[in-house]
Structure 1
Amino acid sequence: MTQIDRDLDALVGEWLTLQEAAAALGVSQNQVRQMIRNHRLLGVVRGGELAIPAAFITNGTILKGLQGTLTVLADSGFSPEEALRWMFTADDSLPGTPLDAIRGNRGTEVRRRAQAMLL
C-alpha cells in the first residue's frame, strides 16, 4: 500500500468493494461501474480492486446531492483521488467536510465551492 493509499484510507475510512456496493444498492456490478462513469458514484482502484467509499451509499441509495458535486469536480479536471481528498477534507468555511455538508442537504453550497475552484 502506498502513502497515497494510506492517506486516502485515513480520510475515507470504510470502503466497499464493487460487489459490496452493488449488493448495497441492489444492482449489478456493471450498473455500479456505469454509475461511476456517469459521476453518480466515485471509485478508485485500491489493491488492484475497485473500491467505493461506504459513506456514498446510505440506506440502499446513493447519497442525495453527490452526483452534481462529482460531476463538477470531474469537469474541473479532478482525478478520482483528488476528488475524494477534497470531499473528505475539512473546510472551515462549510464547516466540516464537503461530504458532511452534502449529508446535511447543503449540496448546492458544496457545488458552488467546487465551481469557485475553477476561477
Structure 2
Amino acid sequence: MADDNDTVLDALDWLTLPEVGERIGEAPGRVRRLLDERALVALRRDGVLRVPAAFVDGGRVLPSLRGTVIVLGDVGFTDDEIVVWLFTLEESLGHAPIESLLAGRKAEVRRVAQTLA
C-alpha cells in the first residue's frame, strides 16, 4: 500500500508554503496558522513542507477543506493518509474526493469520510 500512496503523492502538483502565501496574498506566518488551524495540510516532500496545489483554488484556500480534514483526523487518519484519500478514487463517489470538494459538494465527501472509522 505504501507504494500506491507514493504513486498518488508523486502525481500531485505541490506548492511550498511561500508559494501558497503568494497565491492567497498572505504572509508565511498566516500560512503556518492555516496549517495549525487544519485549514490546510502540508506534507514534507524532499525535505520541504509542501501543500497540494489543488488545496488553493482561485487565490484562496479551498473553503471546504478544513472541515473535511478535521473529520478525517477524527477517524484516525494521518496527514499523509488524508492527502492520499482526497486524491484517490473513492468508489462510493465515483471519483477522487477532492473533485467533489472543488465542485462544492463537501457534504457527500464528509458523509463518506465519517464511515471510514
Same fold (TM over 0.5): yes
Per-residue deviation, 1:5: 4.5
Q: What TM-score, normalized by structure 1, do the two folds share?
A: 0.89
CA contact (8 A) 2:8 2:87 kept: no
Runs of 4+ in 1 over 6 A off after TM superposition: none
Per-residue deviation, 1:64: 2.6
1:5-16 residue pairs with structure 2 within 5 A?
5-10=6-11, 13-16=12-15
Alignment-derived partner of residue 110 in structure 1: 109
Alignment-derived partner of residue 30 in structure 1: 29
1:68/1:14 CA distance change after superposition, 3 Å = same
Aligned equivalents of 2:99, 2:39: Cα separation in 1: 17
Report the 3-state secondary structure (helix = DSSP H, G, I; strand = E; otherwise coil) of the residue aligned with 2:51: strand
Alignment-derived partner of residue 57 in structure 2: 58
**What per-residue deviation string (whole Å, max 9, x for no partner) do you get for residues 75-112 of structure 1?**
22211110011000011211211000111211011001
Asked whether 1:18 is paired with 2:17, we answer: yes
Q: What TM-score, normalized by structure 2, do the two folds share?
A: 0.90
Aligned residues between the structures: 115
1:95/1:6 CA distance change after superposition, 3 Å = closer
Percent identical among aligned pairs is 39
**What per-residue deviation string (whole Å, max 9, x for no partner) do you get for residues 52-83 of structure 1?**
00000011111131111011111222111100
> Which 5+ residue runs of structure 2 have no aligned equivalent?
none
Alignment-derived partner of residue 47 in structure 2: 48
> Which 5+ residue runs of structure 1 have no aligned equivalent?
none
Aligned equivalents of 1:54, 1:61: Cα separation in 2: 11
1:100/1:7 CA distance change after superposition, 3 Å = closer
Report the 3-state secondary structure (helix = DSSP H, G, I; strand = E; otherwise coil) of the residue aligned with 2:50: strand
CA contact (8 A) 1:88 1:98 kept: yes
